[in-house]
Amino acid sequence: MAWSRLAEPGDERAGELVARLGPVAALAEVRVGGKGEKYAPRLAGLNPAQDLQNAGALGGRLLIPSDPEWPEGLDRLQHGMPFCLYVRGPLALNQACASAVSIVGARAATSYGEHVATELAVGCADQGITVVSGAALGIDAAAHRGSLAVGGPTIAVLAGGLDRAYPPSNDLLIREISRFGALVSEVPAGTPPTRWRFIRRNRIIAALGQATCVVEAGSRSGSMGTANWADRLSLPVGAVPGPITSPTSYGTHRLLRSGAVCITSAAELCELAGPIGAFMAEEEAVPKTEYDGLEPRDLQVFDALPVRKAVSMSTLCAAVGLDETAATASLARLELRDLVEREAGLWRKGGAARRTRGAGPS
């Protein structure tokens, strides 16, 4: 906890010192070094007991690398690994990150990008895959909302303390993540989310997933940094193609030219993040004729519905971006083909779709 306040996120010099001596001996060496030591200016402000109390007051908990809940993926960062994590939310990180995908993209996203991010997150959540992102505007928020809409697990990695969630306009979303998923920070409560900390938190977003998918990104987007981190960690990188005239797709197209996997559906992203054979087998088992002739809007509604846990009409409308009248019409057509079913006023995939384990024509 002391080192999480002494050193900035991703400080590999501090990480090497702690790895070599252990945190206690490394802290003692800094104290002996006096004013000439790089970390000396922050020594006077150390109060780990207060930091722990502040985290608890927020409903948070502390994780250190020796804890069972510590996500193994962070070990890939070696000397750049966080010294500890402040976590708020019911998700057990070790279990949630055993099957996870990082979905990131532009803050100034287009409606196309937000729609795709939501659909990808819904599809991953339906397969039990955790969606990791940064709770920013645009693509991040759409990915979190997609997972939450179908009761899926999601993790938001913050650049500041648990009490400094950013941006303020996403306050309601961030609170929902803390209720049903997990908020994660490597810095104590009260730490502001500076530009540098946003850049460095991208390494954690990349390390927590088995793959990273960039939905939209400009040529200088921070999401490109997350993709670069995934590549450095030998994790697969996917990118969603967009209009060649759209500045928000310049970055993703550059990734595709550099060898990123082209992602056009949730099934492809699941395949990228998990054992390829298992997901390919599921796709091959789908009787394609069940979905022939469906209108695009009906496919959109169908893909947004979970297989097991039924959702309300309002939740479905939020996931697909349709009003209740349009969604009801699509559900009626799908119900006639035995692809959806209603249960106590709630909706889920049904009949033919459930027999094929919910796979669709994504």
For residue range 313-330, list pLDDT tens digits in order: 999 988 888 888 988 988
Same domain, 153 and 255: yes
Domain that holds residue 20: 1-45
Same domain, 270 and 301: no
> Lowest mean pLDDT: which of 141-155, 221-235, 291-305?
291-305
Residue 89: partners with Cβ closer than 8 Å, 6 or more residues away = 177, 178, 179, 180, 181, 182, 183
Same domain, 118 and 174: yes
Domain end call among 254, 275, 296: 275
Same domain, 24 and 103: no
Same domain, 306 and 229: no
**What is the distance, to the nearest Å, from the Cα of residue 247 to the centroid of all Cα atoms in its chain?**
23
Same domain, 331 and 305: yes
pLDDT at 354: 56
Give the angle subtended at the CA of 91 by the CAs of 315 and 263, to the nearest 5°.
60
Residue 198: CB atoms within 10 Å: 18
Asked whether residue 65 is assigned to any structural domain, the reply reads no
Asked whether residue 71 is assigned to any structural domain, the reply reads no
Structural domain count, the chain: 3
Which amino acid appears at position 236 of this protein? P
pLDDT at 344: 86
Span 15-54, pLDDT tens digits: 999 999 999 999 999 888 765 578 888 888 899 999 999 9
Domain end call among 241, 275, 309: 275
pLDDT band (50, 70, 90) for residue 333: confident
**Is residue 69 a contact partner of residue 155, using CB atoms and an 8 Å limit?**
no
Return the CATH number at 337.
Answer: 1.10.10.10
Distances (CA, A) of 54 to 24, 63, 163, 210, 256: 22, 14, 9, 32, 44
Span 289-298, pLDDT tens digits: 455 567 778 8
Same domain, 234 and 333: no
Asked whether residue 202 is assigned to any structural domain, the reply reads yes
Query: pTM of the predicted model, to two decimals?
Result: 0.76
Return the CATH number at 176.
Answer: 3.40.50.450
Domain end call among 275, 304, 335: 275
**Cis peptide preceding 167, ω within 30 of 0:** yes
Sheet holding 261-262, edge to edge: 61-63, 85-88, 182-185, 154-157, 130-133, 100-104, 212-214, 237-239, 261-262
Same domain, 103 and 218: yes
Same domain, 171 and 253: yes
Same domain, 310 and 239: no
pLDDT at 222: 87
Asked whether residue 254 is assigned to any structural domain, the reply reads yes
Asked whether residue 66 is assigned to any structural domain, the reply reads no
Higher-pLDDT residue of 154, 284: 154
Asked whether residue 334 is assigned to any structural domain, the reply reads yes
Span 43-78, pLDDT tens digits: 888 999 999 999 999 999 999 999 999 999 999 999
Cα distance between residue 149 and residue 199, in whole Å: 28
Give the angle subtended at the CA of 64 by the CAs of 63 and 67, to the nearest 5°.
80
336-362: average pLDDT = 70
Same domain, 292 and 269: no
Same domain, 247 and 339: no
Distances (CA, A) of 139 to 7, 242, 252: 30, 14, 13
**Is residue 143 a contact partner of residue 121, using CB atoms and an 8 Å limit?**
yes
